[in-house]
Structure 1
Amino acid sequence: MLAFLRRHWLLLVLLAGGVTLRVITWLAYQPALLYIDTFRYIDNLEALRPTDLNPLGYTVVLKAMLGVGNLAFAAAAQHVLGLLIAIVLYLLTLRYTSRTWLAALVAAPVLLDAYQLHIEQNLMSEVWFQALLVAALWVLLSRGEPKWWRAAIAGVLLGAAVLTRTIGITMIVPFVLYLIMAGGAWRSKEGWKRIGVRAGAGLLAFAVVLVSYAGYFKSQAGIWGLTGAQGNVLYGRAAVVADCDKLPQEDKTLLLFCPEEPLGERFGVDFYTHYRYGDPSWPTTELPPDRSKQTLADQFAKRVMREQPVDFTLAVLKDFAKNFGPVKMTSLNDVPAERWHFQTTYPYYIVGENSVEMFNQTSLYFDGVTPSVNTDLATFLRNYQLHGGYLWGPALAALGLLGLLGAFGVGRARRSGLRSAAFLATSSGLILLLGSAAFEFSWRYQLPALVLMPLGGVLGLAAMLGWGKRDPAAPVRRPKLSDYPDEVDSGAVADFHRRYGEARLTPLVVVIAAFNEAKGIGAVLRDMPKECEGLPISTLVVVDGGTDDTAEIAERNGAYVCVAPRNRGQGGALRLGYHLAAERGARYVVTTDADGQYVNEEMPMLIKPLLAGEADFVTGSRRMGTEEHDSKVRWLGVRVFAVLASILTMRKITDTSFGFRGMHAQLAASVTLREPQYQSSELLLGVLARGARVLEVPMSMHLRNNGKSKKGGSIRYGANYARVMTWTWLREYVFGGARRHPMTPRASFEQQEQRRSPEKTGVS
């Protein structure tokens, strides 16, 4: 318990503050705060009409809350939901970083922001909309790369969010983009199949929710739709900026919707949306039977957007930018910020004739009391709110910037697994703000971003500074190898010594790296020749931390086996094999794969040039010989990387990744090898940088005899291969001073061999 308290003390302090503020808010305004929208929800509790201004999502929730309690109970439930949202965001952040203070920063705005407290006391849809968004994020982000069923659950949650607040429809964009990005699946052909499945499942689930609701809407209204607000959503925005002289003058009916106030003297979006359009007696002129008020409003808005795209866009962006202002003030013609401020008297808004009586009757009906205010508590809340008790606009902008920078890979974020999560949270918040601004600006519409952008900003910061845990949805990139021998090498060599004592290997050793190759290794070893060009052959299988019985099968088929205690990648296994072979007396090393892609009978083509002193490193080339391939991308990649290597090394190379190679054992052990995977170009460029004579010979390459490559799909493989080749060239040729101290490998190696005794080399 003490350890728990020490670890999470900051959240507990913030949580105590959040609980205290919510209790004060609940006690200050009894039984709850009622807003204009509240009466629309209450009026529709029994009929559940889908054609009203607001969709039915919150109406159904409110009906359920009032079914078990009253207005005060509903407000209390929303406060509890706000606390749960903060806790979920805290736990979600800890999935990605172990720094609890960062997680506490994510929870703090929800716990302490006065505008959040105000909206929770209001019987409106915002807090439930927030909860659905956070639930969708939890499903997508909390347990590794999203499977199809999790994408489907998130699609259902986002569909429900749309039915709570229609602005949620904009979430489909970051939702789909995240399903493409998550786990780096887009880097491979197999990954795109996963993307297709999960994106299809998510979109289908999202569509099922909305189409089902739209079907209910059609059964009531005769047309497809989601809300009765469709006709006036964009009309208000268009009316503010419309230049009526640019509209078609011959369409007199459409011109009826142009405001009579001249440009520069227009009212705000809210006025034209709710008061002008909402006036049942407007327009006063009778409309033709084939063009309804809603149809004409839609046509008017679309025509304005088409004729004045710049004016329309600038108006939206201007309102979008208001979200990041330092002071929450009321700009000209905006919805008054005062509506979202705590008042010292109960706020009665005009909702029709006898508005005060309507408030009182509603409160009496559900709670048996009239609305009331505790002046002392309300004064405290108002002072708290107006003197900085909210998330500062520039801070929200900074969080958005941090989230985007982290998502785009700035700093250490380039290799971080937090990028897709930062992108989802940040882009979701921004697109909701932008979508809301396309309608009109209100400080109320900023609140969904309160639960999204702090999460995205913190994850972006953690990614850039390297403070994140590895995202389970991100592909694993093995760390570079340290100098030989590292801890894994030492453990493997010690185990080899226990197995075989001081046994010496033959002058020619075939090294095979194997990771879970039990199905194919036996056939490769049974086909291995016993000698080549008069040299006896030892086969050394380096088992790279596998989990099957590869080691046992290899030993049964006559191979020496070296078992690495954990998996590091083919590069680590081969490097271990080079050094072990050289230390145990090998003059020459041949590498081949455990999957049967190469023809053992072609081994003399590798050994003859070495024995004749014509080369120090001999590699096969499928382009000079023959090849079978099952990927056009990799077929092309072989040729592209050959051109790149030729340019970098200033010599012709036709195949950089052929795995059947022969070389002096000491040469292989002398090259700097740091790459755990995609190591073939590192070895080739490394021996060239040391001045070794490299020869390519025509050889054959077949398809694998079992399984599939462990190096990832073609796109991922190509990206990593290019990275390794480029960095090896920079290390060896640019920073390493290649050829500044050239060696003559043949003379050097021959002199070393001549000094060896027959007993040390294993030659009889």
Structure 2
Amino acid sequence: MIGFLRRHWLLFALLAGGITLRVLVWLAYEPALLYIDSFRYLGNLDALRPTDLNPLGYTVVLKVLFTFGGLAFVQAVQHVVGVLLAVSLYALTLRYTSRRWIAAIVAAPLLLDAYQLQIEALIMSEIWFQALTVGALWALLGRGEPAWWRAGVAGILIGLAVVTRTIGFTLVVPMVVYLVLAGGAWRSKAGWRRIGVRATAGVLGVMVVLFPYSAYFYSQAGYWGLTGATGNVLYGRTASIADCSKLPPDDAGLQLFCPDEPLSERQGIDYYTHFVYGNPDWPPEGLPDERTKEELANQFAREVVLNQPFDFVGSILKDFAKNFDPIKRTHHNDVPVERWHFQLTYPYYYVGESTLETFNATTYTYDGVLPSVNTDLTSFLRGYQLGGGYTWGPLLAVFALLGLAGAAGVGRARRSGLRAAAFLATGSGLIILLGAASFEFSWRYQLPALVFLPLGGALGLAAILGARAESIGAATGRRPKMDDYPDDVDAEAVADFRQRYGNSPLTPLVVVIAAYNEAKGIGTVLREMPTHCGDLPVSTLVVVDGATDNTAEVAREAGAYVCEAKRNRGQGAALRLGYHLASECGARYIVTTDADGQYDNNEMPLLVKPLLDDTADFVTGSRRLGSYQHDSAIRWLGVRVFSWLASLLTLRKITDTSFGFRAMKAELATSVTLREPQYQSSELLLGVMARGARVLEVPMTMRLRNNGTSKKGHSIAYGANYARVMLGTWLREYVLRGGKRADRAVRTS
């Protein structure tokens, strides 16, 4: 526990600050802060009208929370959610980089930004929108390359985000692009099939939410939609820039919708959206023809966009750029920034002639108290906020640039495997800011960027610094699944090998060894390797898996053929590369052993003989049938548990699923689907058995490592991941692909 606290001390320091600030906010404003939109949500709790200005997502959340408490309870829950989101983003970042200070930077804005704290205290939808988007990020990024079902989950969460705040619809675009790019699947024909499946699942996930919601809207409104905010949104933007002289002069309706003020004296977007179009008595003279108010507003906006495209786009980009201002201030005609400031007294926003009575009645109804503040605390919070307690706009710009640079493959990012992830986070943040700016600028609309842009910047920075997607395993013991063979690393390694040794340098019997930083021990293993097995000469192929020591040089000096993969991808990736390379270079039989001296290579004739006699296709050693030394009681138990589990799943007696000393026919080794970069022993064994191969177990010896420590993580983490791979392989090979179950038993000898 002390070690855990020491490793993550920076996060805990930030948590202490973030939690303290939230407690102060909760105590400062009783029972919670109310804004204009708050009354729309509260006024729709019973009717649940989908046709109101705001969608129903947050209204439903409130309806659930009010069964447990009042407004003060809702505020407390929203503060807790804010803290959990920060911790969640910290953990997600650590799946892509071992640099904890980078992860802490990602968590800091959500924990300490005063505007974030203030929005959590308001009865508003923002924090729940952020929570749904973080859930979507976890579904897509949490476990390497996304499977179809995770894409579907992400789509469902994005759909729920849309019915919480409609701006969430913009997230569909970066989601689909990410599903195309993730894992480099687009490089192969089989990869495009995976892309099609998971992209379809993602889009269907969105529609699973939006179609029934829109159908409910149709039942209430008589037309398809998601919210009552339709014509007024675009009308406000175009009314503020419209040149009335460019509208059809004979169309009285469009001229009526054009503001009377000259362009230089126009009001802001918010004014035309809510106080002009939103006024049910406007226009006072009535409509000139049979067109509805919404039809005229939409036609007016379309005419302005077509006649003034540069003015329209320029006004949006100008508002978008405001998000990166160094000081949060009120720009001309914009929504006042003071709306999102901590006030010294309880803020009463205008909601009609009886504003005070409305606020008082609302808080008394839900909590039995009138609105009140603790002036000492509000003074502190206001001083903190105005004194710089927020995320600096240029810093958000830096995050965005780092994310874009990582996505573009600048520097080491080109080989990092993080480019798609950096694009997803950064692209999502930027497209939400751009989408919001298309309506109008408000500092409130910047808050979703606190989720996306720091994460995207962190992933971009990790990529540029040289972090790789495989560093997920540093925090979780897991690596992303491999793409089809050959990927870029495989192709480069094979080309280098052929340039060194020619096309067919290997003998019919090849020993494949995966080695990562094994310079101290591999020389002994290679010197003890038999030169012949029966009448067959033995070649040894060492696949160096992105080692940072001189493993390759030691192996060459010991007489082995060496294939060097430039990136460390895991033992499974190295062995798969070795299987294919050996087969392509002349091998008929392949033996695998480890580089750490745990296996007795003198027992190889016993392992290979059934292949040469054609009585088996795959032969694996078994420590339980032979003898072995162990230094972990958990692993001793794990060998037995996983043997029992594999026997149950395949209906075949198996005594050892993870023995690394094995022999197989080359065509069998290259025909099995291998996706796991690390915990690959059970994937290979179950894959071979699912193809109906003749499998034989023979007694073998297993010793302790001759040097170093295991790279597969702690026993518990290893066991959890090994179980995941075994069950996943069984589902894929036996359930989905209909593998053969019990027509041939696993024989022992």
Q: 1:223 to 1:133 in 2, by over 3 A?
A: same
- Normalising by structure 1, we get a TM-score of 0.67
8 Å contact kept, 2:155–2:203: yes
Instruction: State the secondary structure of the residue aligned to 1:250.
Output: coil
- Equivalent positions of 1:243-322 (< 5 A) are 243-287=243-287, 290-322=290-322
Q: Please tell me whether residue 494 in structure 1 is matched to residue 530 in structure 2.
A: no
- The whole-number CA distance in structure 2 between the counterparts of 1:594 and 1:279 is 77
- The whole-number CA distance in structure 2 between the counterparts of 1:386 and 1:65 is 32
Deviations 1:404-425, CA, capped at 9 Å, x for gaps: 0001100100001211111101
- The whole-number CA distance in structure 2 between the counterparts of 1:497 and 1:16 is 61
Q: Please tell me whether residue 392 in structure 1 is matched to residue 392 in structure 2.
A: yes
8 Å contact kept, 1:524–1:594: no
8 Å contact kept, 2:50–2:220: yes
- The whole-number CA distance in structure 2 between the counterparts of 1:47 and 1:218 is 15
- Normalising by structure 2, we get a TM-score of 0.68
**What amino acid maps onto 1:13 in structure 2?**
A
Q: Please tell me whether residue 221 in structure 1 is matched to residue 254 in structure 2.
A: no
Q: 1:520 to 1:275 in 2, by over 3 A?
A: closer
Deviations 1:186-211, CA, capped at 9 Å, x for gaps: 11100000010011111012112111
8 Å contact kept, 1:174–1:428: yes
- The whole-number CA distance in structure 2 between the counterparts of 1:515 and 1:86 is 39
**Deviation at 1:252?**
1.2
Q: 1:544 to 1:19 in 2, by over 3 A?
A: same
- The whole-number CA distance in structure 2 between the counterparts of 1:393 and 1:495 is 63
Q: 1:141 to 1:524 in 2, by over 3 A?
A: closer
Instruction: State the secondary structure of the residue aligned to 1:96.
Output: coil
Q: Please tell me whether residue 334 in structure 1 is matched to residue 367 in structure 2.
A: no
1:693 corresponds to which residue?
Answer: none
**What amino acid maps onto 2:530 in structure 1?**
H
1:378 corresponds to which residue?
Answer: 378
- The whole-number CA distance in structure 2 between the counterparts of 1:412 and 1:551 is 43
Structure 2 unmatched runs, 5+: 473-479, 502-512, 540-560, 564-573, 595-603, 621-664, 669-749
Instruction: State the secondary structure of the residue aligned to 1:177.
Output: helix
**What amino acid maps onto 1:175 in structure 2?**
M
**What amino acid maps onto 2:111 in structure 1?**
L
1:349 corresponds to which residue?
Answer: 349
2:196 corresponds to which residue?
Answer: 196
**Deviation at 1:542?**
5.3
8 Å contact kept, 1:81–1:131: yes
**Deviation at 1:543?**
4.2
**What amino acid maps onto 1:57 in structure 2?**
G
**Higher alpha-carbon Rg:** 1
Structure 1 unmatched runs, 5+: 529-538, 564-592, 597-764
2:598 corresponds to which residue?
Answer: none
1:709 corresponds to which residue?
Answer: none
**What amino acid maps onto 2:529 in structure 1?**
F
Deviations 1:557-587, CA, capped at 9 Å, x for gaps: 69xx9x9xxxxxxxxxxxxxxxxxxxxxxxx
1:185 corresponds to which residue?
Answer: 185
Q: 1:594 to 1:468 in 2, by over 3 A?
A: closer
8 Å contact kept, 2:404–2:422: yes
- The whole-number CA distance in structure 1 between the counterparts of 2:164 and 2:322 is 25
1:130 corresponds to which residue?
Answer: 130
8 Å contact kept, 1:78–1:127: yes
1:109 corresponds to which residue?
Answer: 109
**Deviation at 1:250?**
1.7
**Deviation at 1:290?**
3.3
**What amino acid maps onto 2:214 in structure 1?**
A
8 Å contact kept, 1:517–1:595: no
**Deviation at 1:555?**
3.7
- The whole-number CA distance in structure 1 between the counterparts of 2:371 and 2:588 is 85
**What amino acid maps onto 1:75 in structure 2?**
Q
Instruction: State the secondary structure of the residue aligned to 1:256.
Output: helix
8 Å contact kept, 2:531–2:538: no
**What amino acid maps onto 2:147 in structure 1?**
K
**What amino acid maps onto 1:21 in structure 2?**
L
**Deviation at 1:554?**
5.0
1:239 corresponds to which residue?
Answer: 239
8 Å contact kept, 2:110–2:450: yes
8 Å contact kept, 1:515–1:545: no
Q: Please tell me whether residue 451 in structure 1 is matched to residue 484 in structure 2.
A: no
- The whole-number CA distance in structure 2 between the counterparts of 1:459 and 1:283 is 51
8 Å contact kept, 2:588–2:667: no
Q: 1:403 to 1:545 in 2, by over 3 A?
A: farther
Deviations 1:328-361, CA, capped at 9 Å, x for gaps: 0001100000000000011101011110110000
- The whole-number CA distance in structure 2 between the counterparts of 1:90 and 1:253 is 54
**Deviation at 1:501?**
10
8 Å contact kept, 2:320–2:437: yes
Q: 1:366 to 1:500 in 2, by over 3 A?
A: same
- The whole-number CA distance in structure 1 between the counterparts of 2:184 and 2:426 is 19
1:442 corresponds to which residue?
Answer: 442
Deviations 1:250-280, CA, capped at 9 Å, x for gaps: 2111111101111111000000000010111
- Equivalent positions of 1:330-729 (< 5 A) are 330-470=330-470, 472=480, 475=483, 477=489, 490=523, 493-497=526-530, 500=533, 541=589, 543=591, 555-556=612-613, 595=667
**Percent of aligned positions with the same letter in both sequences?**
61
**What amino acid maps onto 1:461 in structure 2?**
L
Deviations 1:78-129, CA, capped at 9 Å, x for gaps: 0000001001001000110111111111000000000000000000000000
2:210 corresponds to which residue?
Answer: 210
CA RMSD of aligned residues (A): 3.5
**What amino acid maps onto 1:297 in structure 2?**
A
